[in-house]
Amino acid sequence: MNRVFVLGSGFSALAGAPLSRSVLSKIFGRPEKPGITELKSYLGSFLFRGQEDWISNTNLEEVLSRLDLIRHYRPYSNVDYSEVSFYEEQLLSEFTGLLSPGRIKPGHRAYLDFISFIKASDAIISFNYDLIIESLLTLTGRKYDYLLREEKKETSSESVKILKLHGSINAFFCHICGEIFIFSHGITGHPANGPESADSAPKKQLTCARCLLSGRQVPLKHFIIAPTLFKSYTLPSLRNLWFRALEILTGAREIYFIGYSLPEADILSYQLFDFGGRMAEPGQDIYLIDGPRPAAERFKQIYGNRLINLGIYFEEWME
Ligand SMILES: [Zn+2]
């Protein structure tokens, strides 16, 4: 294995995607529509009672993780849990709408330079849900593989490996059989009928093709994984994907973290990089590309003196 590129929200910012810390202000800061106002007041009163400034003091992943845990453990007796699911889906619908290919335009020179710099022997581990890498590879006539199959089949040698550990806006899963389905770039709309859908794809319900064989009509859910512990391990192919990521990180000669901050809330990812770092052969080099700020302690804890903080932004690095 050659090089691994780990992408966070800072990588997609040049294409107009929000940074993880500004997603909530992006959703709720727009001229308000009735559905958005309702969603905002539900989340505010349910999760952040008495905290007026929750939108600027928290982030989307924290909100999703909290809703997810509450829905899973059902700790309150007086709460309508179908309502929790409903608003969680509304929030996901708003979020995925921000990332639809109609809004995200990877036209910046740095992206084209990046894609021509990527070789088929490289792997990309992405925590982003957008389709920037996929559309650039398609545009330049190249192939990619999401490594989502359960069996470990070798990928075609010309395919760039893309491991989207938190999911993707063009991916959906069946909550009954666990099958994950990847659709074309045109099918990214959220299955919930959100208050606003930025996507122009037809709003027909996607159903699980595998369950349909046994006569069951199961609507698919968006494959967008909040960094909570239990959720990520329930789907067999996702579990497999995380193991593939560990193998790839372990075997890498160089790892480049681009616009990725290793969020504190994301314990699973910390463990993944930590474990990969311990298992790697000596001589692995780690590069941080995230602007002129000191490397987070978390990176130093994992990689020690193997860590090289380049101190520049992605577009500067591409120059
Ligand atoms: Zn199914």
Which tokens go with 297?
Answer: 């302690």
C-alpha 219 to ligand 1 mean position (Å): 8
Q: What angle do CA 64, 295, 132 make, to 5 degrees?
A: 50
Q: Give every strand in the sheet of 160-164, ordered side by side.
A: 144-145, 160-164, 123-126, 3-7, 254-258, 285-289, 307-309
C-alpha 129 to ligand 1 mean position (Å): 22
Of the candidates 141, 165, 145, the one whose C-alpha atom is nearest the C-alpha of residue 157 is 145
What parts of the chain have a pLDDT lower than 70? 1, 150-155, 192-204, 227-233
Determine the pLDDT at residue 314: 97
Distance CA 213, CA 176 (A): 13
C-alpha 236 to ligand 1 mean position (Å): 13
31's CB contacts (< 8 A; 6+ apart) are: none
CB 97 within 8 A of CB 194: yes
Distance CA 98, CA 238 (A): 24
C-alpha 80 to ligand 1 mean position (Å): 26
**Alpha-carbon torsion 240, 245, 246, 248, what sign?**
positive
C-alpha 145 to ligand 1 mean position (Å): 22
Angle between helical axes of 34-47 and 60-73 (0-180°, round to 10): 70
C-alpha 217 to ligand 1 mean position (Å): 8
C-alpha 213 to ligand 1 mean position (Å): 9
Determine the pLDDT at residue 186: 79
Q: What angle do CA 260, 125, 209 make, to 5 degrees?
A: 125
C-alpha 79 to ligand 1 mean position (Å): 29
Distance CA 199, CA 98 (A): 9
Distance CA 89, CA 68 (A): 11
3-17+105-166+225-318: CATH topology = Rossmann fold (3.40.50)
C-alpha 208 to ligand 1 mean position (Å): 5
C-alpha 198 to ligand 1 mean position (Å): 27
C-alpha 270 to ligand 1 mean position (Å): 31
CB 91 within 8 A of CB 23: no
Percent helix, strand, coil in the chain, to 5, is 40, 15, 45
Domain ranges of the chain: 3-17+105-166+225-318, 20-98
CB 133 within 8 A of CB 111: no
pLDDT in tens, 92-150: 999 999 999 889 999 999 999 999 999 999 999 999 999 999 999 999 999 999 998 76
C-alpha 110 to ligand 1 mean position (Å): 40
C-alpha 65 to ligand 1 mean position (Å): 24
C-alpha 216 to ligand 1 mean position (Å): 8
C-alpha 180 to ligand 1 mean position (Å): 9
Determine the pLDDT at residue 54: 92
Distance CA 36, CA 140 (A): 38
C-alpha 239 to ligand 1 mean position (Å): 17
Determine the pLDDT at residue 152: 60
